Chains A and B, each alone.
Chain A
Amino acid sequence: MDSRFLKKILTDHEIEIVNSSGSSDAALWSFWACKEAAYKVIKKYHHENSFVPRRWSVDISLQSAKHPAFSGAENNDCLINNIHQDTQTQASYIKGRVNIPGREAVYVGLFSHPAYVHCVGADSLSTLDYLRWGIDVFPHKEDGQKDNSSSFARQCLVRSLSGFLHIDSKDIKIRRIKTGAELQPPGVYICGKRSAIDISLSHDGRFIAYAFNETS
């Protein structure tokens, strides 16, 4: 494990946990996922662009993460077909928070699976229970084919929104607008009108993920 990388993104206490963990990779990326989710929350709600991950601390109990029923995540599409089903029983879902100097804490829900970690964030603990999210695997990319994982993530979100809202998926569009050099968080447009539905999209490697707040 690259100690310089760890020192740039984790607190000293988090580094100790990672180094003493039996699965240091999982611990590292769990902390990172929590901090990245928290950053998305403060960027969206406070228009804050500063992100110094080493100064943000994650309070989450990685040791007690094994929770076969992953209580709290039952409504979400965390069972992906492309992952061997045996590993599903090793998945877990736990809640925690990310402490940010000078700000209210951001609450996070961390879904850990042997093949990936996924984290959702919200500005209140209760909101986490109203987040619907899903994870999928981007179809195999042929050599020379462009990376369309972002487009695939949007398609998955639209499909999920369509089912939840009972609206034809053709009427739902996901758009991002640019302010200066910064792309703003994506928004949902239904029949051409911007809706208040709060969404988030992400992709990394072969995985894509989406989330939306069912109360927004």
Chain B
Amino acid sequence: MDEKNIFDGMINILKTYTKDPSLLEKATMDTHILNDLKVNSARLVDVVIKCEDVYSISIDDDEADKIRTIGDAVRIVKQKLG
């Protein structure tokens, strides 16, 4: 799966957790999930779990800790999918 597809999938996942889905319209790989999308930190854990389910992967604590931007999440998923 290429980065663009994973990015689109990530936007879809984030729609459920952002307080204002319109913020996703201008989202890029550099968009900060907590600061820019106003996703709260507990919901970020849900985002990680949803990624695991959607892509049938496992994201460990250290990998999850590195996720700040949408791009961080996309790169982890891409790496896991090989």
Contacts and interface: CB of A to CB of B under 8 A. Distances in A.
Interface of A: 2, 4-5, 8-9, 32, 36, 39, 49-52, 54-55, 146-147, 150, 181-183, 204
B71 to A, nearest CB: 10
A8 B51 CA distance: 14
Contact of A146 (B20, B30, B35, B61): B20
A182 B46 CA distance: 21
B41 A52 contact: no
A203 to B, nearest CB: 8
A141 B65 CA distance: 33
A51 B20 CA distance: 25
Interface string B19-53: 11000000000101001001011100110110000
Nearest to B61: A52
Contacts, number: 42
B38 A8 contact: no
B49 A5 contact: yes
Contact of A147 (B38, B62, B64, B68): B38
Given A181-B68, A182-B32, A36 B61 contact: no
Listed residue (B40, B41, B46, B62) with the most chain A CB atoms within 10 angstroms of its CB: B41
Given A8-B48, A8-B64, 7 more contacts: A5-B46, A32-B42, A36-B42, A39-B41, A51-B41, A182-B32, A182-B68
A49 B42 CA distance: 16
Contacts of B41: 36, 39, 51
Nearest to A178: B35
Interface of B: 19-20, 30, 32, 35, 38, 40-42, 45-46, 48-49, 61-62, 64-65, 68-69
A54 B48 CA distance: 14
Contacts of A49: 68
Given A181-B68, A182-B35, A183-B35, A9 B62 contact: no
A35 B30 CA distance: 27
A52 B32 contact: no
B62 A52 contact: yes
Contacts of A182: 32, 35, 68
A183 B30 CA distance: 13
Contacts of A54: 61
Nearest to B41: A36
B75 to A, nearest CB: 14
Contacts of B68: 49, 181-182
A32 B35 CA distance: 19
